[in-house]
Structure 1
Amino acid sequence: MNSRVLFLLAGLLAVASGVVREDWFETRVDHFNPRNQYTFSMRYYANDEHAYRNGPIFVIVGGDTAIDPWYLTEGLFYDVAYLEGAYLFANEHRYFGHSLPVSDATTENMDFLTVDQALADLAEWISYLKTTVVGNPRAKVVLLGYGYGGTLANYFHQSYPHLSNGVWVSSGPAEASLTLPSFFEVLGENIRTHGSSDCYNTIFSGFLVAQNLIALGQGDVLTELFHLCEPLDTENPLETTAFLLGLQMDIQRDILFYQNTASTSYMCEQIDANSTDNSLHALKLWFARGHQFEECVKLSFSDFLAPFLDTDFNTDQLQSGNRQRLYIQCTSRGLFPTTDSRYQPFGSQITIDFYVEICREAFGDWIDEDFIRRRTQSMNVRFGGRRPRIENAHFTHGGLDPKIGSGILENVSDSAIATIIPDTFSSPDLGSIDEELDSPELIAAKELTRTLIDTWIFKDFEPIHVEA
């Protein structure tokens, strides 16, 4: 059982025990159309076990998954809340989990899944927390967001500065862009550094050989070698890209699943053990081990597309948020990993054309490359991309996080600080400080976050003077 599942179970136990309580906030489906008076219930969790009267409010901003209550009872934010006597809250992003503003996820019903609607949800909810739940309109508010939740926390702190006093963004992309070639570059550098040069070269050569076989029309060779369920149609670039991307994603999963460098080392040990004069055969032997219990391997375009087509919120795919995340990418974020860069080992065929077609098939012909590019440019114009105008912020990133290329990596100002934590992956700093297991750099990053939050809370603090 991986650590993420354990965290989720721990959070659910906290809810069951009563330490964390579930609640609901009624908010508008469309905040910007006065004629639309429909509302829906947004789920949130609260923990006030350590809160002082008139204490600060700590908010974990919901991202592109169902709400996770774990960080309301564990981790660095919880530890700081204990020290500061803070209230802890976490919201669930609209369209995810049980916070559903519409009846289904058909394309016409996805109109309300936008950054602006999500930020307006947060604004109304935080105002409600301050005035009604906590009963202190002047309470200081500190935000934590990680991943896409970090992106929203950054945007919210810029858009509603009167409602938040500081923001900690852990591995949150800041700059929207059509593609993210650095994603594969970071994975490749990780393979070379924490695996081996031979492993990198085997992957690099294996993908080139596969692409050459595709160019020569020898799809039957790849179909047999990788035991594909459907014959690989080398005349269809969508099918061949789906095959190559499927192979790449198997490598990616092995590297990222446990969020440590040992995963890369172990994967490369397996690939290197298969090392022969035929790099594609070595990749095939490693690949086959991961699929040994399958009758055949599904790597067709339709297989890749399938998780994004369900529209019933009760299905596993919608509960996992696959369609919703894709819609956000297609309409505002972009950040599609491509092989545009030469400094990565996954060939050259995974291009934006493939992702645009996925968007079109999932949501309609109104989406094309130019549309996605314009939408991402608009986000950067509005929120500053990697150079936002922001104060009281800490942007942290794991040095091996493949999405680091879209993050804020340098200090924006004296009060908006960036920290890169080497040899770590996505959001490595959410856990409590561990003097034995954490690296010195990770401990320093956590201590800086703790200090900054204290500074944000007590900035402009006026002590009570008692006359003698």
Structure 2
Amino acid sequence: MAHKGVQNEESTGASFPTVCKYPLCCLFLYVSRLLQALKLHSHTSEKMAIKAPRFSLLWLPCLLLLITTCVSATLLNPPRLGVLRGTTGRRSPLSSSSKDYQTFFYNQTLDHFNYRPESFTTFKQRYVVNFNYWGGANSSAPIFVYLGEESPLDYDLEGIGFLSDNAPRFNALIVYIEHRYYGKSIPFGSREEALKNASTLGYFSSAQALADYAEVITNLKKNLSAETSPVIVVGASYGGMLASWFRLKYPHIALGALASSAPILYFDDITPQNGYYSIVTKDFREVSESCYNTIRHSWSEIDRVASQANGLSVLSKRFKTCFPLNTSSELKDYLDTIYAEAAQYDHPPTYPVTVVCGGIDGAPKGTDVLGRVFAGLAAFRRNRSCYDPNEYNYPSETTVGWRWQTCSEMVIPIGRGSNDTMFPASPFDLNIYIEYCKKLYDVPPRPHWITTNYGGHDIKLVLQRFASNIIFSNGLRDPYSSGGVLENISDSVVAIHTAKGSHCLDILPASQHDPKWLVMQRKIVLEIIDGWLAKYYIDLLESLQS
């Protein structure tokens, strides 16, 4: 095991490969906005910070291709599975320099699944350990392992409270493992080389990530002489999928798994396409019927204004966009993402959906539809001097990595019909999606591989026969809960959900202001884990005595 001291993460928005293989619409928007920003800067004294990767002239040959291939971002880019709101490059990562954490790097195998010579190439995979609460190997004290998702590890160290909040209760060792191709866990020596093309990206998969975690955990237990210490894996969002799949694939390594907000059923046709946006719609409608109606009618009003002479200029002024709008879709996609984010992360005590609707409903009497929608945007974004419709589109480490993952195996078919949500129709078309991904990477996605590899169809019939010790925890205000496991599968594969919960809320740091239903949800989870460990220690004692 290679040991190194804790290091500060470099800026995650500054190093991207200079080849034309990434989400094309985002790049086109980035380049056009960068040029406009430079022009605007020369005419104003107001400084504007643009959180975006370094621009290289080597991107320019792609622009004609970009112009011809850009289609609705809503259609092709599903809402991302982020554990924490705002970790797509718009927020600085949390520092890992706390004295509570020790950072290590494991020499990880590039390819776990074949024996070609190049498969044995290694890269440094980062993991972080907190020894403060551990009862030690002699007492077989448990190990809580957080399985990293589609972001650098730094965000998780303080943003994920479940492990540090509860490790003292269990005398547990805390371990966070970073997902390959994110943060400092980059194969091929550099991010540029690792993300260069499909040949180097081909080792970037969930199965490889699970095998990575298995190697790190096994090696760590051996180094600590903690072979009898039980492991509980914890994950959230995409990481929650990984946690549940890890328990199924590696039951000899993990005693149990907590999968928070894990939409493992949002593949193939298991979950209706409109599941996600149906819940966004329900969230807004439950808060305010008038707010819901305003949003529902706003899309056609935006198109109506845009179709008029100087209509885009009018919309740009009315919504105080930082740059002139190129199309009405820019504005609509921006608002779409705002509403989806508000619903997905509708956490107490702020409750973003209520904030948006408070702005819409609180607009002065006589305000037209667009004025009310803008008031909702201003309330959500706290009255900025201007609003950037592409703030969610600038390439970041997470968006670039996640685009490959969703264009290879994580094909989540989110779409909308004509009148089934408060949003305009945007159905998911697999054929269009396949062509889009082929243009990006020269390889098609495998849309059915997740269910082939991990299952999902008839999940209760299948898992009740052999699976055990998995908690699926959800909040029903989370749009991704539509693809989650919401019913108990067996006595030990259980579903815990709250009507008012949101995305990954249950594993965020506990607060004295947490509502009672959230406190109870966490209490039930801990009692279940207590039961797993109690049974394990009884079995361990019997095995030692036999």
Q: Map 1:343-382 to 2 at 5 A.
A: 343-349=420-426, 351-352=428-429, 359-364=437-442, 366-367=443-444, 371=445, 373-379=447-453, 381=455
2:520 is the counterpart of 1:437: no
3-state DSSP class of the match of 1:163? Answer: coil
In 1, Cα distance between equivalents of 2:461 and 2:502: 23
Shift of 1:352: 4.3
2:139 is the counterpart of 1:56: no
Identical pairs, percent: 23
2:263 is the counterpart of 1:173: yes
AA aligned to 1:248 is: D
3-state DSSP class of the match of 2:145? Answer: strand
AA aligned to 2:132 is: E
Moved more, 166-175 or 334-343: 334-343
1:397 counterpart residue number? 474
2:249 counterpart residue number? 159
AA aligned to 2:507 is: L
Shift of 1:246: 2.1
- Select 1:43's aligned residue among 126, 134, 149: 126
CA contact (8 A) 2:160 2:507 kept: no
Shift of 1:31: 1.2
Shift of 1:120: 0.8
Moved more, 283-292 or 171-180: 283-292
Q: Map 1:77-96 to 2 at 5 A.
A: 77-96=163-182
Query: For the structure 1 residues 292 and 45, does the alpha-carbon distance in structure 2 shift closer, same or farther, using more than 3 Å as the test?
Result: closer
2:385 is the counterpart of 1:293: yes
In 2, Cα distance between equivalents of 1:142 and 1:387: 25
Q: Map 1:50-449 to 2 at 5 A.
A: 50-54=133-137, 55-68=141-154, 71=157, 75-102=161-188, 103=190, 104=192, 105-108=195-198, 109-132=200-223, 134-177=224-267, 180-194=273-287, 196-211=288-303, 218=308, 220-227=310-317, 229=323, 232=326, 241-255=329-343, 259-260=347-348, 262-274=351-363, 276=366, 278-284=368-374, 286-287=376-377, 293-294=385-386, 297-298=388-389, 307=395, 317-318=396-397, 321-340=398-417, 342-349=419-426, 351-352=428-429, 359-364=437-442, 366-367=443-444, 371=445, 373-379=447-453, 381=455, 389=463, 390-431=467-508, 434=511, 436-449=512-525
Query: For the structure 1 residues 269 and 80, does the alpha-carbon distance in structure 2 shift closer, same or farther, using more than 3 Å as the test?
Result: closer
AA aligned to 2:532 is: W
Query: For the structure 1 residues 254 and 145, does the alpha-carbon distance in structure 2 shift closer, same or farther, using more than 3 Å as the test?
Result: closer
Shift of 1:335: 2.4
- Give a deviation string over 1:258-288, Cα, whole Å, max 9, x none: 6336322221121123464842453245447
In 2, Cα distance between equivalents of 1:427 and 1:283: 28
Query: For the structure 1 residues 361 and 81, does the alpha-carbon distance in structure 2 shift closer, same or farther, using more than 3 Å as the test?
Result: same
2:104 is the counterpart of 1:23: yes
CA contact (8 A) 1:29 1:112 kept: yes
Shift of 1:345: 0.8
AA aligned to 1:200 is: Y
Query: For the structure 1 residues 245 and 74, does the alpha-carbon distance in structure 2 shift closer, same or farther, using more than 3 Å as the test?
Result: closer
Shift of 1:212: 5.8
Query: For the structure 1 residues 399 and 74, does the alpha-carbon distance in structure 2 shift closer, same or farther, using more than 3 Å as the test?
Result: closer
CA contact (8 A) 1:244 1:350 kept: no
CA contact (8 A) 1:395 1:409 kept: yes
3-state DSSP class of the match of 1:335? Answer: coil
CA contact (8 A) 2:356 2:377 kept: no
3-state DSSP class of the match of 1:157? Answer: helix
3-state DSSP class of the match of 2:97? Answer: helix
CA contact (8 A) 2:477 2:499 kept: yes
AA aligned to 1:187 is: V
Moved more, 178-187 or 442-451: 178-187
1:311 counterpart residue number? none
Shift of 1:251: 3.0
AA aligned to 1:113 is: F
3-state DSSP class of the match of 1:333? Answer: coil
Query: For the structure 1 residues 139 and 388, does the alpha-carbon distance in structure 2 shift closer, same or farther, using more than 3 Å as the test?
Result: farther
3-state DSSP class of the match of 1:419? Answer: strand
Query: For the structure 1 residues 382 and 396, does the alpha-carbon distance in structure 2 shift closer, same or farther, using more than 3 Å as the test?
Result: closer
Shift of 1:189: 1.2
- With structure 2 as the length reference, what TM-score do the two structures score? 0.70
- Unmatched 5+ residue regions in structure 2? 1-83
3-state DSSP class of the match of 1:396? Answer: strand
Query: For the structure 1 residues 11 and 230, does the alpha-carbon distance in structure 2 shift closer, same or farther, using more than 3 Å as the test?
Result: closer
In 1, Cα distance between equivalents of 2:233 and 2:462: 17
Q: How many residues align?
A: 431
CA contact (8 A) 1:47 1:72 kept: no
CA contact (8 A) 1:175 1:380 kept: no
In 1, Cα distance between equivalents of 2:85 and 2:450: 33
3-state DSSP class of the match of 1:162? Answer: coil
- Unmatched 5+ residue regions in structure 1? 234-239, 308-316
2:7 counterpart residue number? none
CA contact (8 A) 2:346 2:353 kept: no
AA aligned to 2:286 is: T
- Give a deviation string over 1:389-430, Cα, whole Å, max 9, x none: 221111111121111111111111110111112212111222
Shift of 1:252: 3.1
In 2, Cα distance between equivalents of 1:288 and 1:222: 19
Query: For the structure 1 residues 247 and 455, does the alpha-carbon distance in structure 2 shift closer, same or farther, using more than 3 Å as the test?
Result: same
In 1, Cα distance between equivalents of 2:353 and 2:509: 25
- Give a deviation string over 1:182-215, Cα, whole Å, max 9, x none: 2211111111112x1111000001113335667x
